[in-house]
Chains A and B, each alone.
Chain A
Amino acid sequence: MNLRIQVIVAVIIILALIVILNMIRKKALELKYALAWLAVGVSVLILDVFPGVMRWLADFMGIEVPANMLFFFGFCFSLVLIFILTVMISRMSVRLKELAQELALYEKRESDKKK
């Protein structure tokens, strides 16, 4: 890996981290859910600044081309994240349903009281 691509990647990652942090600051993103993304950003940054780490890890796992290891990890991470999101959507849709029912029945009782 040459220095130029290392710098480009570092700049992109740092920009992304700034955007994420800024969104957390503005409450557009909840810190709880942004943690995973911050962790990814920091890990990629470490691998970018210290390419030796990646080579050592790939060697350790018996992967010949370090880039393949990145693809593999990236793929696994994405799958886990998507799955967690699906679980969250399920939970939220149940809560949303209960909230809507509760609200509808509450409004009904209130309007009956007025009569």
Chain B
Amino acid sequence: MKKLIIIPAYNESENIEKTVQAIEKEAPDFEYVIINDCSQDETKRICEKNHYNVVNLPINLGIGGAVQTGYRYGYEEGYDLAVQVDGDGQHDPGFLKSMAEYLTEQNLDMVIGSRFIRKEGFQSSGVRRIGIKYFTVLIQMLTGQKITDPTSGLRMINRDVMKIFAYDYPKDYPEPESVVAILRRKKKVAELPVIMKAREGGVSSISPKKSVYYMIKVTLAILIEWIRK
């Protein structure tokens, strides 16, 4: 079984080496690909110096476009499952083995690593938790399924979903919207408790100013996704 870790990286020169080392140590049966989203810093040089497996985007596409590139890579290279692990050190690769086992044993299409099942580790700020809770409720109302951490980037998918995402994936803030897209196609989604760390460097893509845009955009995207044919 070929298993792929997709590491979207934009200006992650401080974290990328640590991320890859953690993967090599804690998830040795996975292969990985770094999607360098046209970083302005030393990310590309560091990847080449260490001979990392890297795909360099010629222009900055944002998180959605970068992760989608990884899904396309995974689909074209014949991988059976793919998982996104952020390049900023928030996601612990130690959980990947149990996620992969859960996905294959339960015959699932997507496994989401959730911070809010056991409520351990970094729980995000209070305001953000309210926003996440709101999406949980919205998704539950529309699809009937409770996703406790719809914004989690730590998500593992099988080849079926990889094919869908490779050709149709939201551009920005893709997580909640794409979960709805998958649920609507009657795919099986489940969550597994994980512990996430606070980011070790770099900044979140969602600044306070952008959070209003985020809430409105993602809400609309979820509603539109829900009425799509």
B56 touches A105 (CB 8 A): no
Known: A105-B72, A105-B73, A105-B76. A100 touches B65 (CB 8 A): yes
Q: With a CB–CB cut-off of 8 A, which chain B residues contact A97?
A: 61, 65, 171
A88 interface residue, CB < 8 Å from B?
Answer: no
Q: Mark B30-72, 1 if CB is under 8 A from A, else 0.
A: 0000010000000000000000001111110100010011001
A107 interface residue, CB < 8 Å from B?
Answer: yes
A104 interface residue, CB < 8 Å from B?
Answer: yes
A105 touches B58 (CB 8 A): no
Alpha-carbon distance A101/B73, docked complex (angstroms) = 9
A101 touches B59 (CB 8 A): no
Contact count band on B:
10 to 19
Q: Mark B64-92, 1 if CB is under 8 A from A, else 0.
A: 01001100110010000000000000000
Task: Name the distance in Å between A14's Cβ and chain B's nearest Cβ.
Answer: 41
Contact count band on A:
10 to 19
A103 interface residue, CB < 8 Å from B?
Answer: yes
Task: Name the distance in Å between B221's Cβ and chain A's nearest Cβ.
Answer: 14
Q: With a CB–CB cut-off of 8 A, which chain A residues contact B171?
A: 93, 97
Q: Mark A80-115, 1 if CB is under 8 A from B, else 0.
A: 000000000000010011001101110110000000
A101 touches B56 (CB 8 A): no
Known: A97-B171, A108-B73. A103 touches B58 (CB 8 A): yes
Task: Name the distance in Å between B210's Cβ and chain A's nearest Cβ.
Answer: 19
Task: Name the distance in Å between B44's Cβ and chain A's nearest Cβ.
Answer: 12
Q: With a CB–CB cut-off of 8 A, which chain B residues contact A107?
A: 55-56
B76 touches A101 (CB 8 A): no
The interface centre, meaning the residue of A96, A100, A104 with most chain B CB atoms within 10 A of its CB, is A104
Q: With a CB–CB cut-off of 8 A, which chain B residues contact A108?
A: 54-56, 73
B58 touches A100 (CB 8 A): yes
Alpha-carbon distance A115/B182, docked complex (angstroms) = 38
Alpha-carbon distance A28/B121, docked complex (angstroms) = 57
Known: A105-B55, A107-B56, A108-B55. A100 touches B73 (CB 8 A): no
Residue of B nearest to A107 (CB): B56
Residue of A nearest to B60 (CB): A100
Alpha-carbon distance A101/B76, docked complex (angstroms) = 12
Alpha-carbon distance A7/B206, docked complex (angstroms) = 56
Q: With a CB–CB cut-off of 8 A, which chain B residues contact A105?
A: 55, 69, 72-73, 76
Which A residues are closer than 8 A to B by beta carbons? 93, 96-97, 100-101, 103-105, 107-108
